[in-house]
Structure 1
Amino acid sequence: MTKTDSSLQSQNPISSAQNSVDNVHQAVKHALSHPTAQTTEDAQNAISKAGNAVSQASAQSDSPAVQQAMESLDEDKERLANLE
């Protein structure tokens, strides 16, 4: 039996970047509401992964979606930095 992809949308660099940035938003929100070393580290890891995804997406496209992902990521980085 082969494993099938359960996603209805195929992943491309832009959607991957958007999903990563959404994960950052949730991780930062969690770190702000439950500030522990672990939640902060989790948010920093999510930021690092999203940074890579956004970088890959921006190398392939300069679409408004990529620009929005960059801006959102920067905002969440700032929110987390204010916690620290």
Structure 2
Amino acid sequence: MPDRDTSLQAQNPISQAQNSVDRAHHAVQQAQSHPSSQMIDQAENALAKAEHAVAQTQDSPYQEPAGIARDMLEADYDALTQVEPMKEDR
């Protein structure tokens, strides 16, 4: 049996947090493009999950990438606060 590629190993907390922040960023972009209550709720949920993932990096020795993830998350929270639901969706 051939050796398998080990690139599918379990992710570390930093990469998990970055992936979660990336998903939250995408959800915020979607809410900005399509500002329905549902899209805004989805973005808020994604941000909450990303916040939890970033909190898991608190004890990581790699604080620089964790700090970048925290900064990106904060920027996305700020961006989402600027989104107003469509009038017919209020």
TM-score, structure 2 as length reference:
0.80
1:80 — aligned with what?
A: 80
Note the aligned Cα RMSD (angstroms).
Answer: 1.4
Specify every segment of 5 or more residues in structure 1 that has no aligned partner in the other structure, as ranges.
1-6
Identity among equivalent positions (%) equals: 45
Partner residue, 2:39? 39
The residue type equivalent to 2:59 in the other structure is A
CA distance in 2, matches of 1:28, 1:13: 22
Give the Cα–Cα distance (whole angstroms) in 2 for the partners of residues 81 and 62 of structure 1.
29
Q: Which runs of at least 4 in structure 1 moved beyond 6 Å after TM superposition? A: none
Change (3 A) 1:68 1:9: farther
**1:1-84 paired onto structure 2 within 5 Å:** 8-84=8-84
Judge which range, 45-54 or 58-67, deviates more: 58-67
Aligned length: 78
Compare the two structures and name the one with the higher helix fraction: 1
Alpha-carbon distance between aligned partners in 1 of 2:45 and 2:61, rounded to the nearest angstrom: 24
Q: TM-score, normalised by structure 1?
A: 0.85
Distance in 2, matches of 1:9 and 1:67, equals 24
Between the aligned partners of 1:73 and 1:59, the Cα distance in structure 2 is 18
The question of whether the paired residues in 1 share the 8 Å contact of 2:23 and 2:46 is answered with yes
**1:23-80: CA deviation from partner (whole Å, max 9, x where unpaired):** 0110000000000011000000000000000000123335211000000000000000
Q: Which ranges in structure 2 are unaligned for 5 or more consecutive residues?
A: 1-6, 85-90
